[in-house]
Structure 1
Amino acid sequence: MVWTGTWVAERLGVELIGDEELPALLGLALRRNPKRAHLLVSSVLGKHVPQHPSVVYGSGLGLGLRVRELLGAEEAGRAVVLGYAETATALGHAVADGLGSAPYLHSTRRPVPGVATAGGFEESHSHATSHLLLPEDPELLAGPGPLVLVDDEFSTGNTVLNTLRGLHERYPRDRYVVVALVDMRAPADRDRLTAFAAELGARVDLLSLAAGTVVLPDDVLEKGQELVARHEHAAPVTGPAASAAPASGPAASA
C-alpha cells in the first residue's frame, strides 16, 4: 500500500497548502523532538519512504539542470555544490551531476582527525544542531564561482541563513543558489532571505520543485507529544500487514 502522508496531518490538525504538485512530493510524520511535533517527509527523496531509484535521482538531476540553465554554462562550470547531511547528502550529488559533475561537498556532524574545518553552521531545529564542512581540498570553497546549497526542504530558512552568514564571512562571493525539493517557508521567512541577500550584497536565487506553507494549530506540539506517547509502545505490526503500516500509522523520527 502506498504511504499517503496524511495520517499525522489529520490527527494534528496540520494543513499543507501550496502548489498542485505538493501532495505528490510531501507528507507528514511525527517527530520525537521537544522543539517540533511534525516532520516534513519527502516522497521522492528515497530516505524515509521507499521510492524508485530513477525518481530519486531524477528529482535531484532535474533541479541541477535548472540551476545550470539559471547560471549559464560558464558560471555553472565554476560552481561548487554543498549538500546538507543527512537528508540531502545524495540529493546534492544528483544536483551536482545536473550542473555537469560540479565539485560536491556535504556537511557532517563528525570531526575527522587531521582534517581542517573549512566552516560550519547551526541547524537550530535539529536533534544534532552543529554541522561541519571538511573538504579534502581546503581551497574548495575559496573560489569566486557560485555556491549552490542543496537541502531536501525549507521550512523556515534559518539553516540556509546560518550557512550563508558563516560562509560569506569566510569565503565571500557574488552569487548563491539555494535549491530544495520543496519550499515551505512563510512569507515573512521569504522576506528575511531577500533582506539578508541585500545585506550581504550578493545575489541569492532559490529553486524548488514546489512551494507551499504549513498551517499549524496552536497546540500542535502538545498534540504531537501525546500522539507519540500513545503509539510508540504499541505492539509492532508483523506478517503481511507490515508492508501497509506506513499508510495507516504514524512514523516517528528524532
Structure 2
Amino acid sequence: MAARINKKRSFLFVSKVLGKHIPVGPYTPLLSGAALALLLYLEMSADGADRSIMDKLMSQAVHGLIYPEFAEEAYHDLLDARLVLPQPVVFIGFAETATALGHSMYNMFAGGASYIHTTRENIPELESVVTFEEEHSHAVDHLCYALNPKLLSGTEPIVLVDDEITTGNTAINTIRDIQSKFPRQEYVVASLLDWRSAANIQAYRDLEQELGIRITALSLLQGSIKVTGTPLLKPQAESGEEPAALAELVTTYVRDGLERLQVTSADALGIVNLSPYLKYSGRFGLDSADNQRIDEGVSRVAGQLRDLREGSRTLVMGVGEFMYLPMRIAAEMGEGVSYQSSTRSPIHPERREDYGVHSAAAYPSAGDTEITNFIYNVDPGQYDDIFVLLERDVPRQRIEPMTDILQRLAANKVHLIVLTSEPETGGSRI
C-alpha cells in the first residue's frame, strides 16, 4: 500500500502486476488481463468448458503472476487456447489505470469481442456516448468516444474492467448511465482486487433489483479492508546521487503502419493539439477483426526499437492512458526489458521496505499542462536506456519536463518514440 495525496481517498494498493506505479516485466500485466479473461470464460461457458484444460491454464496463470519468469510462457499458452465466448461481449476498460488491463482481457478472445476504454481527454469533434464519475478519484469525469455507434447499442453483456474495486461506486455509476441509454440484462465487473464491504456488495444486489439486471463480479483476489485515520505525510529528502551527466535524448518517429484518426484535442486552457490520434489504441473502440492489424503494428515497432537498444537494462514507458500498445511492444523487445506507465495519481513516496512507492518525480502533462503527471519507483542509473512511447506528436516544449526527468534517470540514453503512419520532421525516422 501507499499513501495517496487525495482528500477523497487517502490510500491505494500499489499493484505488482499492473505496470503502472512499479516497473515490471511486460508479460506480467499482460498475463493479469489474460487471467481475468479466463475467469470470464469459465463464468460464461461453465457447461461447455473442458474443466481440466481450464484448471491447468489457470494454474499456469497464477504461477506466472507469482513468479514473473514464467509469465511469458503462461501468457502465450493462454493466447494459444483461442478462447471463444458463447455470445458477443463488450469490454470497457476504465481510464487511466485499467486501459491496458481491459485491452489484454479482451485480446484473449479469438472472436465475438469488442473493446473500448474510457478517457479523460477532450476531443471536440467527437461526442461521448456515456459519461460518468469516479467518485474517489482526483480526476472524476470519464468519457467514452465510440466511433461505431452500434458498439453499445446492442443487448450483449458488458464487462467493466478496473484494476481494483474498493466501494464499487464507479461501476454503479457506469451501469446506471449505460442502462439509461443502452439497456441490457447482464453486466460483469472484473478487477484484479475486490475489497468491497458487505454493504458495498449489497449495493450491487439493490441495483440489480432496481434496474432488473444481473451483475457478476470477478476478481483475482477478494478480501476486506478497514482504513482509519489519515496518513502522516512526512517530507522526503531526495535520495540517490545526481548523475554526473545527463543521458542523451534521441527523438525518433517510428512508422507503425496503423491508421490515424483525424481529430484534435483541447486542454484545460483551450490549447488545441492538431496531431491525429492512433485509431487502434482502444480509445475509439475495437473488435476482434482489428487484432491482427494491431499485432502486426506492434511487431513492426518492436523490431525497430529492439535495434536501438544499447544496454542490457531497458525501461519502456507508456504515457497516461496509452498503456497497452507500449506494453505489447516492450514484450517483443527482447530480454532485460521492464515496462511501466506515467500516471496522474498523486502518491506520497517513502523509502521503506514495506511501502509501495519509494521515489516520485512530478511534471506537467504534455497533453494538458494543468495536470500533474508522475513517474514512480525509478532510480538514477537503474536502466541503461529508457524508451518513452507517444501515440501522437506533441510540441517539444510540452514534453521536455518529462524528458528532462528521464535524462537524469537513464544511465545512457532516453529515446522519445513518436508513433506515426507518415514521415515527420524534427527527429530521425525509421
Give the TM-score taking structure 1 as reference length.
0.78
Give the alignment of 1:171-210 within 5 angstroms: 171-210=182-221
Please state whether the residue corresponding to 2:225 is helix, strand or coil. Answer: strand
Give the alignment of 1:1-254 within 5 angstroms: 28-72=1-45, 76-100=86-110, 102-217=113-228, 219=229, 221=230, 224=231, 226-227=232-233, 230-232=234-236, 234-238=237-241, 245=351, 247=353, 251=357
Post-superposition CA distance 1:100-138 (Å, at most 9, x none) = 352110001112122121011100111111111111112
Larger fraction in helix: 1
Please state whether the residue corresponding to 1:42 is helix, strand or coil. Answer: coil
Q: What is the percent sequence identity of the aligned residues?
A: 39
Change (3 A) 1:200 1:181: same
- CA shift for structure 1 position 77: 3.9
Structure 2 residues not aligned, in runs of 5+: 46-82, 244-349, 361-372, 375-430
- CA shift for structure 1 position 216: 1.3
Post-superposition CA distance 1:60-86 (Å, at most 9, x none) = 111112212322388654101000000
- CA shift for structure 1 position 249: 5.6
Amino acid at match of 2:164: E
- CA distance in structure 2 between the partners assigned to 1:249 and 1:150 by the alignment: 26
Please state whether the residue corresponding to 1:131 is helix, strand or coil. Answer: strand
- CA distance in structure 2 between the partners assigned to 1:115 and 1:84 by the alignment: 19
CA contact under 8 A between 1:116 and 1:138: conserved in structure 2? no
- CA distance in structure 2 between the partners assigned to 1:130 and 1:41 by the alignment: 23
Post-superposition CA distance 1:40-93 (Å, at most 9, x none) = 221111111122222211111111122123223886541010000000000001
Kindly tell me the number of residue pairs found equivalent between the two proteins.
216
- CA shift for structure 1 position 238: 3.3
Q: Which has the larger radius of gyration?
A: 2
Amino acid at match of 1:175: E
Higher relative contact order (CA 8 A, sep 6+): 1
Please state whether the residue corresponding to 2:21 is helix, strand or coil. Answer: coil
Amino acid at match of 1:35: K
Please state whether the residue corresponding to 1:138 is helix, strand or coil. Answer: coil
Change (3 A) 1:178 1:250: closer
Give the TM-score taking structure 2 as reference length.
0.47
- CA shift for structure 1 position 247: 3.4
Change (3 A) 1:195 1:106: same
Bigger mean CA offset, 184-193 vs 64-73: 64-73
Amino acid at match of 1:52: G
Change (3 A) 1:239 1:182: same
CA contact under 8 A between 1:65 and 1:99: conserved in structure 2? no
Post-superposition CA distance 1:193-228 (Å, at most 9, x none) = 1111121111111100011112112x2x2xx1x32x
Query: What is the aligned partner in structure 2 of residue 25 from structure 1?
Result: none
Change (3 A) 1:76 1:113: farther
